[in-house]
Amino acid sequence: MSLRRRLYAYLAAAHLLFLGLTITLFRDAPWLMLGLEAAVFLSFAAGVLLMRRALEPLGYTRHFHDLLQDQHYAARLQQSGDAELNELVQLFNTMLGALYRERLQIGEQQGFLDRLLEATPSAVVVFDFDGRISLLNASAQALLKLDDAKGKPLSAWLPPLAVDAQTAGGNPSLLAQLDALPPGDSQLLTDTDGRRYRGQRGHFYDRGFARHFLLIEELTQELESSEKATYDKLIRVLAHEVNNTVAATGSVLDSLLYYRSQLAERDGEDFSTAIVAVKRRNVSLGEFIERFTRVVKMPAPELRPVAVKDLMDDILYLYREPCRSRGISIAWRHCDDVPAVAMDRHLMEQALLNVVKNAMEAADGGPQPASIEFALGQDGDGLRLSVIDSGNRLGDVPARQLFTPFFTTKKGGQGIGLLFVREVLNRHGFPYRLAATGDGSTRFDIWLRPAAGA
C-alpha cells in the first residue's frame, strides 16, 4: 500500500473513532452530539485538504522521476499556487535544464568526435567493456577489411595459422600483432607485405570502467624516407673518404712498381705479385663504393611511354644464353596486350636487369628443373608485371628486410641490387612486392600505371 493510501486510511479511521464516540451522547446531550459530529466532519475535510497539500511534492517528485527515466530533459514542471512548493518546482526545472544542456553538449561532442575519427588518416578501433569492437573508422575498415565487425572481438578474424605463427615466433599477420599488443604499449608492426605501422593500445574511462582502443598509423613511407636520408649521408661520407684513399693508394702502388728492378729477380716477382694483388683490391674497393654512389646520385626519371613487353623481351633475349648455360628455362608465362607505361626506360631497364639477375642466381641454386617466368596483365585499374623464379632463397626472411640498405641473402653479397631497384620503383611511384609464393618459388610483382592517353 502506498504512503498516500496509508495516510488517508489513518485519517478516516481516527475520525470514524471520534464519530463513534459522539454517538454515545445521543440520549444524554443530542445537541452536543450534533455539534461534535459537525466538528468531526470539518476536521476530516480539513485533514484531507492538508494531506493533499502535504503530499503534493510527492506528485511532483514522481513526475520528475518519470521525466528523468524517459530522458525528456526538454520538458518542464508546471508552477504551483503554493510559494513554498514553487521553490521545489523551480529546483526540479533547473536540474532538467542543466541535464538538457549537458545532453546537447555531449551530443555535439560525440558528433564532432565521430566526424574527427572518420576524417583522421589513422586507423582507429574502439572496443566495449567486454573487448568487442564498438567503433571502426573508415581508415581502419580500409586497412583491416573487417566485415560486420561491430559486436565481435578482434580475435574472431584470426585464423588458427595466425595464432600458430605468433606462438612459434614466426611472422604473424597484422591482426594477430594488434590483438597481442599489451595495454598502454606502442610497437612497430609489419604486415606480410612488408609495410610498417605504429600500433598503440590505449584506454579511456566510460562510466567508471576502462575501455580499450587501437590506433594504427602506417609509417612505411616515413621510415623509408628516414632510412634513405641516413644511408645517403652515410654513403656520401664513405665515398668521399674511400675515393680519396683509393686514389692516393693507387698512386703509391704504381710508384712502388718502379722499385721492382732494384730487387733480385725472385724477390722482384713476389714483390710485383703482391703489389698487383693490392692494386686489384684497391680498384675493387673503388668499384664497390661507386655502385652505392650510383644509388644516391640517381637522376630524376624522365618519363616517356614505353612498351613493357618490348622492354622485357630485350631482357629475355639478353639472359637467354646465360640461363641456358646454367640449365634454367626463361620464358613468358603469359603476356596480355597492354597499353604503354610512362617510365624512364633506362632506369627501369637497369632495375629489371637486377631483378632478373637475382632470379637467375636464386633459380640456379634452387630445386630442379629451374625456371624463370615473366607475366604481364591487367590488374584492376593498372597493370602488373611479375618475375617468378623456381628458387626459394627468401625462406623465412621477413619482407621488411629485403629492401633495407646493405641487407642481402647472397653469400658475399653487398645488398646493393634490391636497394637500387627500390629507389627506381619509388621514384616512379610503382608499388612492388617480393615474397615467397608458398609453393617453393619466389615472385617479384610490380604494379604499373598506363601512360596518359595510352
* Residue 454 forms part of a structural domain: no
Predicted structure pTM score:
0.49
- Do 369 and 443 belong to one domain? yes
The backbone torsions φ and ψ at residue 387, rounded to the nearest 5 degrees and listed phi first, read -120, 115
- Do 231 and 184 belong to one domain? no
Mean pLDDT of the 99-108 span: 82
- Do 312 and 372 belong to one domain? yes
Degrees, nearest 5: CA angle 111-217-381: 95
Residue 124 CA to residue 117 CA, distance in Å, equals 7
Kindly report, residue by residue over 195-205, the tens digit of the pLDDT. Answer: 778 889 998 88
Looking at per-residue confidence, does 260 or 217 come out higher? 217
- Do 268 and 334 belong to one domain? no
* Residue 234 forms part of a structural domain: yes
| 163: pLDDT strictly greater than 70 | no
Query: Domain range for residue 65?
Result: 3-102
* Residue 111 forms part of a structural domain: no
| 32: pLDDT strictly greater than 80 | no
* Residue 453 forms part of a structural domain: no
Q: For residue 442, what are the β-bridge partners? A: 389, 436
Kindly report, residue by residue over 226-237, the tens digit of the pLDDT. Answer: 666 766 776 777
Mean pLDDT of the 354-374 span: 84
Residue 109 CA to residue 115 CA, distance in Å, equals 10
Mean pLDDT of the 169-187 span: 78
* Residue 271 forms part of a structural domain: yes
* Residue 107 forms part of a structural domain: no
> With contact defined as beta carbons under 8 Å apart, do 222 and 255 qualify?
no
Kindly report, residue by residue over 112-152, the tens digit of the pLDDT. Answer: 777 877 778 888 898 988 889 888 888 888 888 887 888 88
- Do 180 and 237 belong to one domain? no
pLDDT for residue 220 = 67
Q: For residue 451, what are the β-bridge partners? A: none
Name the most confidently modeled range: 91-95, 117-121, 210-214: 210-214
pLDDT for residue 352 = 92
- Do 173 and 260 belong to one domain? no
pLDDT for residue 332 = 93
- Do 392 and 432 belong to one domain? yes
pLDDT for residue 311 = 92
* Residue 195 forms part of a structural domain: yes
CATH number of the domain encompassing residue 150 = 3.30.450.20
Q: How confident is the model at residue 290 (pLDDT cuts 50, 70, 90)?
A: confident
The total of structural domains in the chain comes to 4
* Residue 356 forms part of a structural domain: yes
| 168: pLDDT strictly greater than 50 | no
pLDDT for residue 452 = 67
Mean pLDDT of the 320-345 span: 90
Residue 366 CA to residue 393 CA, distance in Å, equals 8
Q: Are strands 442-448 and 382-389 parallel, antiparallel or unpaired?
A: antiparallel
- Do 150 and 163 belong to one domain? yes
CATH number of the domain encompassing residue 398 = 3.30.565.10
Q: Which of 218, 251, 277 is the last residue of a domain?
A: 218
- Do 322 and 414 belong to one domain? yes
Q: Which of 169, 190, 218 is the last residue of a domain?
A: 218
Q: How confident is the model at residue 164 (pLDDT cuts 50, 70, 90)?
A: very low
Residue 386 CA to residue 359 CA, distance in Å, equals 11
Residue 245 CA to residue 232 CA, distance in Å, equals 20
Q: Which of 218, 246, 264 is the last residue of a domain?
A: 218
- Do 287 and 384 belong to one domain? no
- Do 288 and 313 belong to one domain? no
pLDDT for residue 454 = 57
pLDDT for residue 312 = 92
- Do 428 and 324 belong to one domain? yes
Burial class (CB in 10 A: 0-12, 13-18, 19+), 340: middle
| 407: pLDDT strictly greater than 60 | no
